[in-house]
Structure 1
Amino acid sequence: MTLYTFGGNPSAVLTTSTGDVVPNYPLSVRVAGSGALVTALFEENGTTPISTLRTNAADDDMPGAIRTFKAADVVAIEYEYLGPSGDPVRWYEVSREAATQALEGLGSKLDKTGGEITGDLDVAGTVNVQELLVNGEPLDLGGADWTQLGIRVPAAVTGAALQNALNAARDAGGGWVIVRPGVWDISALPLRIYRNTRLTLCDGAIIRRAGNGTMLLNGDALQTFGGYTGHGNILVEGGVWDARAASYPTSAMCMSFGHAEDITVQDTTIKDVCGFHGIEMNATRRGRILRVSALGYKDPDGTRDFSEAFQIDLAKGSSYFGGFGPYDDTPCTDILVEGCSVGPSGTAGTTSWPRGFGSHSASPSKPHTDIRVRDFRCEGLTQFAVGGYTWQDTIVSGLQLRNCGAGVRMRTLDSSATSARTPAGGSSPTITGSQPLQNIVIDDITMTGGGTYDAAVRCEGEDTGYIGGLAISNVIARNIGQQCLRLVDVEDYTVDNVVAYGCGATAVSQLGTRRGRLKSVHVNGATGAGITVDSRSTPAATATDVAIQGCSVTGATANGFHIWDGTDVIVDDCDAYALTGFGVQVSTSTIRPIIRNVRTRDTTSAGINITNTVTQVRRHGNTPGSVTDASTSPNTSPFETGFGALEDAFRPAGRYETVSRLRAGTSSTPTSGILYLVPIWLPKGAVISNLGFVSGGTAAATPTNWWFALCDNTRKMLARTADQLTAAWAANTAQSLPIAQTTAGAGTSYTTTYTGVHFIGIMVKATTVPSIVGEGLVAGVLAGVSPGFGGADSGMSTPPTVSGAGFTAAAFGVASGQLLYGYAT
C-alpha cells in the first residue's frame, strides 16, 4: 500500500459563492477520472484512519480548510460535497508525491529544453502520459502529426517554464506541450505559441494572469506574415485560463490569434476577462472554438459594454488587433463555434458578458464568410448572444438563451460608421452606403426572459445593402422585453415555425422587406401588434410581395396583422382573436393586398379594417368578424370579377356586365309590363352613370313605357333612368340610358356602397316587346329560388320613385328567369 498526501494547501478550502468558509462540513474523496469512492483515508501520520473527512471546525486557526491527510494508492483525487442546489460538486487535486516524482522523472528523461517522452513522467513509474486527464478523460494520443513531434512538460509551475516549453516546440518545428495540474501564474505576458503546437492543460491545471496584457498570442510582435500565413496549426485544450479581471482591471485578451489557419481551442474554461475578448480570431481561416466555457467579465471603465466572449475580426489596424500586423484587411473564413457556454462566473466584481460571439468592425467588401454557430448557451448577457456583423454564408443553430439582453443579430455594413466604409490603411471612405449580404440560416433558437436590449432575432440591412437569402425557423421566445423577430431591409426570405409568447413590443416586425414568406407563426401576448409589414419610405414600397400564411395572433395590445404601404401583401388562412384593435388593418396606400380565409373574433375593433388610401383590394372567405372597407373598388369575389380569365379580358374597360359577351349567344323576349331583374357583380365605390341592354332580332312595336333600373341585393331600387315612353327601339341595337334619379333624388350617377351582388332591371310595356340579347332563360320555379332573379313586379308602366320612401321590387317568380345581357358603366 502506497500512501499519497493531499490537503493542507491554500486551495483546499471549502467556501460559499460569496467567499465565506464552510466549517465542519463532510466531504467524500473519489479517484480522479473514474469517480470511485476512496475509503482508505489516514491522518497525516499515515496510521490513524479517518472515518469521515471534514473541513476544519469554526474555532480552528484555518476554519473551513481541509487538513493534511493521506490516501492509499491514489495519485489524483476529486473532493465531492453537496452544493446548495443538492447536486454534487467536485474539485481536483493531485498528490504532493506525484508532482515530485514527475519532476524526478523529467530529470532523467529531458534536458533543459525538453525532449521526447514515451513512457512515465516519474522515477517511481506511477504517473504515465496516458494517465493524465483532460476533462476526466485520458489524453488523446491519436494523430500522428502530434505524436511524432514529441512531448514537452514544463519543469516547474512557472510562466517562464511554460514559455520555455513553447519555445522548445517552436525550435523543433512543432510539439506537444503538456501542462500538469497546478496553478501557473503568468506575469510576463503574453505567452507566445507558435505553429504546429498542441498545448494541453490537464485537469487541475490553472493558468492565471499575474500581470497586464493578453495571456496567449500566436507569434511575435514584429512578425509580418500576411493573409493566413502566420503561426497556425495550433490546438489549445483543457484546464482553466483565469484572467483575474478583479485583480488586474485593465483591458486584455485571454487568447488572441491572427493571420493564421487551423486554430482550435477546445474543452477549456476562460474566466473573468477584463475589457476585451476571451478568444479573438483575427484574419483566421479554419478556426474552431469547441466546448469552451467563457465565464465572467469586467468592463473596466464603462466603455466596453459591447465586448464578445468569442470574436472574429479582420486585420484592419493596431486598434483592432494589437498583437502584430500586417494590417491588410484579411477577414475570417470557415469558423466554427460549437458546444460552448457564455455567462457569469460568480467572482466578486465581475458580471456576465455583454455578448457571446460576434464582430463589431468592418471594411468595404471584406465580409467574414462560412461561419457556423451550433449548440450555444448564453446566460445573463446584456446584449446579443450572436452578433454577426458583415457575416455571409452563415448558419446559427441550436441556441439556448436565458435572461439575455438580445438573441441573434445579423447586420450589413453600417453606413453611418465612417470607419466601416474605409479600408485598412485608408484615409477616407471608398463607398457611400452599405453593401448586401447573402445566405443566412437561423434555426432552433430558444430565448427565455431578457430582451431588454433588442429582439430575439434581428436581421438588418440598409436600403443600399439588403440581407438576401435568409431562412429563419423554429424560434421560441418567451417573456422578452422586445420583439421576437425584427427584419429590416431583407429580401428573399422565409420565416417558419415561430412561437412568440409575451413580447414587450410588436412580436414580428418587418420594415422595408420584400419577397418574403411567413408560415406557422404564433403570437400570444404582445405589447404592440402581432405581425406587421411596413414599407413606408423604403425601396420595398413598390415591390413588397410578402405572404403571411397559416399564422395566428392573440393577446396583442394593438392590431393582429397590420400592413402599411407596399404592393402585393397577402394575409391568408390566419387567425386573430382576443386582442385590442383590428384583427387585420391595411392602410397607407397599400396596393393590391389580398386578405382571404382570415378568421377574426373578440377584437375590440372591426375584424378587418381597410382605409381609403388602399387600392385594388381582394378579399374573400373571411369570417366571422365585421369588415370596414373604405378602399376604392375592392374585389370580394374569389373568382376575380365573377368570370374566367378570358371573359374578364374581353370585358370592355369601365363596363360591368351581367354575363360575358362571349356567352351571349341567344335572345329572350320579356313579357310586357313586367320588371325583370338580372344579377350583376359590382364593387364598392363604383360610380354608375349608365345602364344598358341590347335588343336582338325583334324591335319594339308601339312602346308606351320603357326604362332601366339598378337595385341592391334585397331588390331595393337604388337608381333608375328616365322613362323613354314611346321612343323607338330598333332591332340589334344597344340602348345605354343615363341615370336620372337615385335614392338621394334627381341625379346623374350612383356610387355603390358595398361589393357584391346587385341587380339591373329592365321594364318594357309595348304591343311587341323587343327581344333582348342574353345567355338564355330558366323556368320561373327555378329562377325564384332565393336569392333568385327574373320577373318581379307585373302590371308596370311608369317608373317608380326611387327617392323618399323608395321602392323595393317584389319577390321573383312571376315570370321566367331570363339571363339577359345588361351592363353598367
Structure 2
Amino acid sequence: MARCGCAGDMATTAVLSEDSECIALAGNGSIASPLVAAPIISPRPGNLISCDDGLYASNGGTWTPQDFGAAGNGVADDAPALQLALNAALAAGGGTVYVPAGIYRLATLPLRIYRRTRLALTPGATMRRGVRGTMLLNGDAGQNFPGYSGHGDIVIEGGTWDARGTQFAEPSMCISIGHAENVLIRDLTIKDVGGYHGIEINSTRHCVIRNVRGLGYVDTDGRDFSEFIQPDLAKGSAYFGGFGPYDDTPVIDLLVEGCVTGASGTPGTTAWPRGIGSHSASPSRPHRDIRVRDCAFQGCSQFAIGAYTWESVVISGVQFRDCGGGIRFRTLDSSITSHRTPAGGSGPTITGSQPFAGLVVDNVTMTGGGSYGAAVELVGEETGYVQDVTVGRVTARNVGQQAVRMEYVEDYVASDIVAHTTGATSISTLGTRRGRFADCHVNGSGGAGITVDSRSTPAATGTDVQIVDCTVTGTAANGVHIWDGADLLVDSCELYALNGYGVQVSTNTARILVRDTRTSATTSTPINFTSTVTGAHREGNSADAPGTITTATAANTTTETVVASLLIPAADALPGTSYRFSVHGQASTTGTPTLTIRVRLGGPTGAVLSAFSAVTTSSGISGRGWSVNGALHAIAPGSSGTWAASAQLIHRLAATTGQTLQDVTDGTVTRDSTADQALVVTAQWSAASASNTAQALASSLNRV
C-alpha cells in the first residue's frame, strides 16, 4: 500500500488499491513513504489528484485527517480535522477516512460519522479524549430518522480509542450508534471509559462487532452495572442522548465475536462490571437474533453477559475468569414500572412480565469468581417464562454460587454440565417445567448437587422434569433433591461419597419415578421419600429392596433361629408399597419333634407377621421340603410405620404329600420404615438334637 501525492506534498489523500500501488496514470510526481493499513479498497473513478508536473491519480473516495490539517501529535485538537474528513465522505456519498499512526487529541466532541463511511485507523493510531462527551456518534442531534433509517452502512476499525476516564469524571460514551442498519466495528481497542459504555448499539439492525477489546472502566457516577457493549432500544433521551426519534426501536441481528473485556492496568480503573448486556426494556420490544461467540471476559464484577429481554439468542464459546457471574438471561422485570411502559407512555401497558423464547448456551467455561451470580443463570417470572432453551457443555470450577441456575424456565434441555467446587447448589432450579438434565457431573458443592424446586409455583402441578445419567459426589447437602412438583424422573444416576441423602424427595411431590440409580457412601438414607410424597415409584436402584439376603440353618437347639433374612432398606417403603417374598428350605430329623416356622419384621425379636401352627414331623425324615410365600404391605410408612402381611407354608414334614398352612396378621404391626428392617423367617424345634436341622436354601424379595 502506498500514499500518493504531488512533489513536496506529504499530506495529500491516500490512494489504496488491490495491488498496493498508487495509480499513477501519467507524469513524474513523487510517491511518499509507504503506509501500512487495512482494508485494501479497489479504486474507483473520481477524486483525482492532479499535480503541476503532470502526475495525477485516483483516490477512490479516501481522505485522511492530515488532508485537513490534523497534527496527530497528541497536543493539537485534531477533532475538527477528523470531522472535516468525515464530512467529506458524507458529501461524496460515502468513502473512507484513513487515519495514519499518531495520537489524535479530541477536544471537540462528538465526532460524527455518516452513512456509507469507513473510518479506518492504522496500527499505532490512537484517538485520545480531550474533553467530556461521546467520542463517536453516527449522526446529528437534530436528525429524525425513525426505525433503522438513520446513518448506516458504516465501518469503524483499527487503532485505539482512549477515553481517559480517570481524567474526565463525568459519565461519557466512546462509540454510540443509533437508528442504523449495516454496521461493522472491528479490530480495535477501547480503553478506560468512564460511566457509560464502550459501544452503545441502539435501535440498530444487522450489526457486527468483531475482535474488539474493552480494557479499563471508571465508575464515575455510581454505575456499577455498566456494560462495555450495550444493545439498547430508542426509549428516551435518558437511554440514548445522541438523537431521536424515541420510538422503541430495538436491536435486531447483532453478532459479537472474538471480543475481550478486562482491566487496562491504568491506575484508578477496574475491569468492566459487565461485558455485554442490556438493562432497559419496553413491552413487546425484545432485542432478537443476537449471537455472542468466542469471547473472553475477565474480572467483571457482575454478570459478564446480561441478556435482558433478548430473544432468539445463541451464546457459544465464551470464557469467564474471576467474574461476578457468567451469563444471565432475564425476561422483562415486572417490578420495574418503566420497563412495563412504552416510549413516550404515561404508564404501564402490561401488568406482569412477558415470555421470551429461544436461547442456546453452548461451550462455556467459568473459572473463579461467582460472588454475584451463577455461571449460567436464566430467570423468568410466572407471567413471563423463559422458553425453548438449550444449555450444553458448561464447565464451572471454583465458583462462589451455582454452575447453572434456572427460575421459571420451560421446555429446556441442559446437558454436559461439569460443576467442580461450587459455593452453592451446583445445578439449581425453581418453578421450571418440561425440562431435562442429562450427562451432568458435580464434584464438590456447598449445597446439593442437583435440585428441582416447584414449591409455590405453577410447576407444582405439572413439572415433567427428568434427571438422567448424572453423577454427583462431594456435596454438603444431598445428591439430588426434589421439592414439590409432579411427574418427575431420576434415572440412571451415580450418587456417591456425599453428605445427606442420595436422592431426597419431599414436600408434596407427586408421581416421581426413581430408577436404576446407584448410591453409596451417603451420610443419610440413600433414597428417601418424606411422608407427604404421593404416587412415587422406585425400581432397580442399588438401595432398593432387596437389600442383603442371607440363609442359615437351625440345628441342635430349641431357640428360635433366623434361617432367612431379607433386608428392606430404610425409606424403601412408600405408602401402599407391597413386597412379595419367598423362602424355600428343607428339614431333617431322626425323631418326631415339632417344628414351628414364623415370619417376623425387624429381626428375630421383631413383630410377628405370620405364625404357623407347629408341625409334628414324621419319624426319620431327611431333606423334606418346605416353602414360605407371602405378601407384606406398607400401610402407612414412617418412624411409626404400620405393616401387615399374609403368608402360606407348604411342607412335606409330616407326610409324603404336601400340606399347607396359612396365617395372616391381625390388624397391623408397627416398625420404623425410615430405618432398615429385616424381614425374617425363623425355625424353632421343640427338642434339641444333632439330627434336628431346618435349613433355608434360597430366598427372594421383590417390591410390587
| Range of TM-score over shorter length | 0.7 to 0.9
| Aligned position for 2:523 | 604
Are positions 1:617 and 2:571 aligned together? no
SS of the counterpart of 2:394?
strand
Output the CA distance in 1 between the equivalents of 2:191 and 2:24. Answer: 33
Are positions 1:404 and 2:304 aligned together? no
SS of the counterpart of 2:119?
strand
Are positions 1:430 and 2:341 aligned together? no
Q: Within 5 Å, which residues of 2 pair with 1:37-76?
A: none
Deviations 1:515-557 (A, max 9, x none): 1111111111111111100000000001111111111111111
Output the CA distance in 2 between the equivalents of 1:269 and 1:371. Answer: 22
Answer with 1 or 2: which has the greater Rg.
Answer: 1
CA RMSD in angstroms comes to 3.7
**Would you identify which runs of 4 or more consecutive aligned residues in structure 1 move more than 3 Å?**
98-103, 105-110, 117-120, 142-149, 624-628, 634-638, 672-693, 705-708, 750-759, 810-813
Give the strand-richer structure, 1 or 2.
2
| Aligned position for 2:571 | 629
From 450, 464, 467, the equivalent of 1:531 is 450
SS of the counterpart of 1:350?
coil
Q: Would the aligned equivalents of 2:263 and 2:269 in 1 still touch at CA under 8 Å?
A: yes
Deviations 1:237-286 (A, max 9, x none): 00011101011121111000000100110000111100000001100000
- Unaligned 5+ segments in structure 2 are 16-21, 47-57, 72-77, 548-568, 581-614, 618-625, 649-658, 686-693, 698-703
**Seq. identity, %:** 51
| Aligned position for 2:98 | 178
| Aligned position for 2:164 | 244
Are positions 1:262 and 2:182 aligned together? yes
Q: Which one-letter code corresponds to 2:636 in the other structure?
A: G
Q: Would the aligned equivalents of 1:612 and 1:631 in 2 still touch at CA under 8 Å?
A: no
Output the CA distance in 2 between the equivalents of 1:753 and 1:529. Answer: 21
| Aligned position for 1:277 | 197
Q: Would the aligned equivalents of 1:332 and 1:369 in 2 still touch at CA under 8 Å?
A: yes
Q: Would the aligned equivalents of 1:685 and 1:754 in 2 still touch at CA under 8 Å?
A: no
Cα distance, 1:478–1:683 mapped onto 2, change above 3 Å: same
Deviations 1:784-824 (A, max 9, x none): xxx9xxxx999xxxxxxxxxxxxxxx8799xxxxxxxxxx9
SS of the counterpart of 1:563?
strand
| Aligned position for 1:709 | 663
Q: Would the aligned equivalents of 2:234 and 2:245 in 1 still touch at CA under 8 Å?
A: yes
The CA deviation at 1:100 is 11
| Aligned position for 2:132 | 212
Q: Would the aligned equivalents of 2:570 and 2:677 in 1 still touch at CA under 8 Å?
A: no
Output the CA distance in 1 between the equivalents of 2:461 and 2:436. Answer: 17
The CA deviation at 1:363 is 0.5
SS of the counterpart of 2:85?
helix
Are positions 1:150 and 2:61 aligned together? yes
| Aligned position for 1:468 | 387
Output the CA distance in 2 between the equivalents of 1:370 and 1:376. Answer: 17
Q: Within 5 Å, which residues of 2 pair with 1:49-198?
A: 104-107=9-12, 118=23, 124-128=30-34, 131-134=35-38, 139-141=39-41, 150-154=61-65, 155=67, 156-157=70-71, 158-198=78-118
Cα distance, 1:166–1:226 mapped onto 2, change above 3 Å: same
The CA deviation at 1:364 is 0.5
Cα distance, 1:343–1:108 mapped onto 2, change above 3 Å: closer
Deviations 1:71-120 (A, max 9, x none): xxxx9xxxxxxxxxxxxxxxxxxxxxx9999981445999xxxxxx8569
Q: Which one-letter code corresponds to 1:247 in the other structure?
A: Q
| Aligned position for 1:481 | 400
- Unaligned 5+ segments in structure 1 are 1-32, 34-74, 76-97, 111-116, 639-671, 694-704, 711-718, 721-738, 745-749, 760-786, 795-809, 814-823
Cα distance, 1:393–1:166 mapped onto 2, change above 3 Å: same
Output the CA distance in 2 between the equivalents of 1:145 and 1:516. Answer: 61
| Aligned position for 2:563 | none
Q: Would the aligned equivalents of 1:355 and 1:381 in 2 still touch at CA under 8 Å?
A: yes
Q: Would the aligned equivalents of 1:153 and 1:178 in 2 still touch at CA under 8 Å?
A: yes
Q: Within 5 Å, which residues of 2 pair with 1:488-507?
A: 488-507=407-426
| Aligned position for 2:562 | none
Q: Which one-letter code corresponds to 1:571 in the other structure?
A: V
Deviations 1:209-228 (A, max 9, x none): 10010000000001110000
Output the CA distance in 2 between the equivalents of 1:390 and 1:636. Answer: 51
Deviations 1:696-753 (A, max 9, x none): xxxxxxxxx999523xxxxxxxx15xxxxxxxxxxxxxxxxxx6xx658xxxxx9999
SS of the counterpart of 1:569?
strand
Q: Would the aligned equivalents of 1:679 and 1:758 in 2 still touch at CA under 8 Å?
A: no
Output the CA distance in 2 between the equivalents of 1:442 and 1:400. Answer: 12
Q: Which one-letter code corresponds to 1:176 in the other structure?
A: T
Output the CA distance in 2 between the equivalents of 1:459 and 1:593. Answer: 25
Q: Would the aligned equivalents of 1:560 and 1:579 in 2 still touch at CA under 8 Å?
A: yes
Deviations 1:173-206 (A, max 9, x none): 1111101111101111100000000000011110
Q: Which one-letter code corresponds to 1:132 in the other structure?
A: V
Q: Which one-letter code corresponds to 1:104 in the other structure?
A: D
Output the CA distance in 2 between the equivalents of 1:108 and 1:566. Answer: 71
Q: Would the aligned equivalents of 2:420 and 2:443 in 1 still touch at CA under 8 Å?
A: yes
From 226, 231, 251, the equivalent of 2:151 is 231
Cα distance, 1:145–1:207 mapped onto 2, change above 3 Å: farther
| Aligned position for 1:733 | none
From 564, 570, 574, the equivalent of 2:483 is 564
Q: Would the aligned equivalents of 2:630 and 2:645 in 1 still touch at CA under 8 Å?
A: no
SS of the counterpart of 1:267?
strand
Q: Which one-letter code corresponds to 2:87 in the other structure?
A: N
Q: Which one-letter code corresponds to 1:242 in the other structure?
A: D
Deviations 1:583-620 (A, max 9, x none): 11111111111111222222211111211111111112
Q: Which one-letter code corresponds to 1:499 in the other structure?
A: V
Output the CA distance in 2 between the equivalents of 1:551 and 1:148. Answer: 64
The CA deviation at 1:628 is 3.3
Q: Would the aligned equivalents of 1:104 and 1:123 in 2 still touch at CA under 8 Å?
A: no
SS of the counterpart of 1:581?
coil
The CA deviation at 1:629 is 2.2
Deviations 1:28-71 (A, max 9, x none): xxxxx9xxxxxxxxxxxxxxxxxxxxxxxxxxxxxxxxxxxxxx
Q: Which has the higher contact order (CA 8 A, sep 6+)?
A: 2
SS of the counterpart of 2:339?
helix
Cα distance, 1:617–1:337 mapped onto 2, change above 3 Å: same
Are positions 1:519 and 2:430 aligned together? no
Deviations 1:371-394 (A, max 9, x none): 000100011110111110000000
The CA deviation at 1:576 is 1.5
Q: Would the aligned equivalents of 2:578 and 2:631 in 1 still touch at CA under 8 Å?
A: no
Q: Would the aligned equivalents of 2:232 and 2:250 in 1 still touch at CA under 8 Å?
A: yes
Q: Within 5 Å, which residues of 2 pair with 1:738-749?
A: none
Output the CA distance in 2 between the equivalents of 1:127 and 1:467. Answer: 58
SS of the counterpart of 1:568?
strand
Output the CA distance in 1 between the equivalents of 2:231 and 2:321. Answer: 23
